[in-house]
Amino acid sequence: MTTKVHHTLLLTGAAGGVGTALRERLKANCTVLRLSDRVDFGPALDGEEMALADLSDASAVSNAVQGCQAIVHLGGVSTEGAFDPILQGNIVGVYNLYEAARIHGVKRVVFASSNHVTGFYRQCETITPAHPPRPDSLYGVSKAFGEDLSRMYFDRYGIETACVRIGSAFAEPRDRRMLASWLSFDDLHRLITACLTTPVLGHSIIFGMSDNAVSWYDNASVRHVGYVPQDSSDGFREAIYARTPEPDASDPTVQYQGGTFLMAGIPMTAHRK
């Protein structure tokens, strides 16, 4: 089966950690990979185009989107922090992206949402895409906004979106929590490929995890996307247990799925400490 179902694929956030890891892999999904970020990260290579844009700049985003058939949207603020950059990058930015997609006739988007949309569920709970959002941070709220906005663009304009609630996409899991949340770069590429090629995507919310033995997520309702993870954090368990201390069960970063994002940013009230 060919995975090149789109001629020009736009990748936002291309200069970031995940964008850098996906850059080469995504060339299998298109004839031209158009790379966008707000920072200049060097020249386009073979099979690539550059389209630098700050997501808060509607006109620059429109130029980046024009002429592409699908978008993998990774750009924006990726951690908890001050509200204004989150507002500009993740809320105004995702609006600018969907408006450009509507105007230029783009029909499919893979949106990098986050496990922090549901970070206030406990680590002893298993959740599905149907569970209501419980964001753990302003960052998580901004991703929930992107999910709702994409739902509206599907219902009003038929733009299909996969909201991929990425867990922890790094080369390796870094701590005990990531034994549950880890998503390998190869599995993320498999998941994006499934989202770009499945005949009917609709508006789907899917948890982005590898095949980890410990999991807080149930993707059974989104089997139609066709994502089958092939990697697992399990082989890293022994080394992570050996180098990290026994967790304190009363620590909110251990109780809740969002981990350290629970304590980042604006202070929590006493009842959650």
Closer residue to ligand NAI, CB minimum distance, 94 or 106:
94
Is 114 among the residues that bind ligand 15L (CB under 6 A)?
A: yes
Closer residue to ligand 15L, CB minimum distance, 13 or 222:
13
Asked about 157 being catalytic, the answer comes back as no
Residues forming contacts to ligand NAI in the complex (CB under 6 A) are 13, 15-19, 37-39, 54-56, 74-78, 88-89, 93, 112, 114, 166, 168-170
Q: At residue 176, what are phi and psi to the nearest 5 degrees?
A: -60, -40
Element holding 207 (H helix, E strand): strand 203-208
Subset of 71-110 contacting ligand 15L (CB under 6 A): 78-79
Given ligand 15L, ligand NAI, none, residue 64, with its beta carbon under 5 to 8 Å by kind, binds none
Minimum distance between the CB of residue 271 and ligand NAI, rounded to whole angstroms?
27
From residue 6, how far is each of 29, 122, 174, 187 by CA, in Å? 7, 39, 34, 20
Minimum distance between the CB of residue 146 and ligand NAI, rounded to whole angstroms?
9
**With CB under 6 A as the contact rule, which of the stretches 95-103, 114-122, 215-223, 233-241 interacts with ligand 15L?**
114-122
57: Cα separation from own chain's centroid: 21
Minimum distance between the CB of residue 113 and ligand 15L, rounded to whole angstroms?
9
Closer residue to ligand 15L, CB minimum distance, 48 or 175:
175
3-state class of 51 per DSSP? coil
Give the DSSP letter string of 20-45. HHHHHHGGGGEEEEEEE-SS------
* Radius of gyration in angstroms for the set of CA atoms belonging to the chain, rounded to a whole number: 18
135 Cβ neighbours under 8 A, 6+ residues apart: 116, 117, 118, 119, 120, 141, 143, 144
**With CB under 6 A as the contact rule, which of the stretches 20-28, 31-39, 94-102, 112-120 interacts with ligand 15L?**
112-120
3-state class of 182 per DSSP? strand
Is 20 among the residues that bind ligand 15L (CB under 6 A)?
A: no
- Say which of 95, 139, 227, 256 is annotated catalytic: 139
From residue 94, how far is each of 1, 87, 125, 257, 268 by CA, in Å? 31, 10, 30, 25, 27
3-state class of 8 per DSSP? strand
Selected from 38, 73, 116, 189, the binder of ligand 15L by CB under 6 A is: 116
**With CB under 6 A as the contact rule, which of the stretches 3-11, 36-44, 111-119, 204-212 interacts with ligand 15L?**
111-119
- Find the distance separating the first CA and the last CA of the chain, reported in whole Å: 51
**CB-count burial class (<10 Å; 0-12, 13-18, 19+) for 111:** buried
Selected from 36, 90, 115, 204, the binder of ligand 15L by CB under 6 A is: 115
Given ligand 15L, ligand NAI, none, residue 225, with its beta carbon under 5 to 8 Å by kind, binds none
Minimum distance between the CB of residue 3 and ligand 15L, rounded to whole angstroms?
26
Dihedral-angle region of residue 32 (phi above 0 means left; psi in -120 to 50 means alpha; beta otherwise): beta
Binding site for ligand 15L (CB under 6 A): 78-79, 114-116, 168, 181, 259
Catalytic residues, which ones?
139
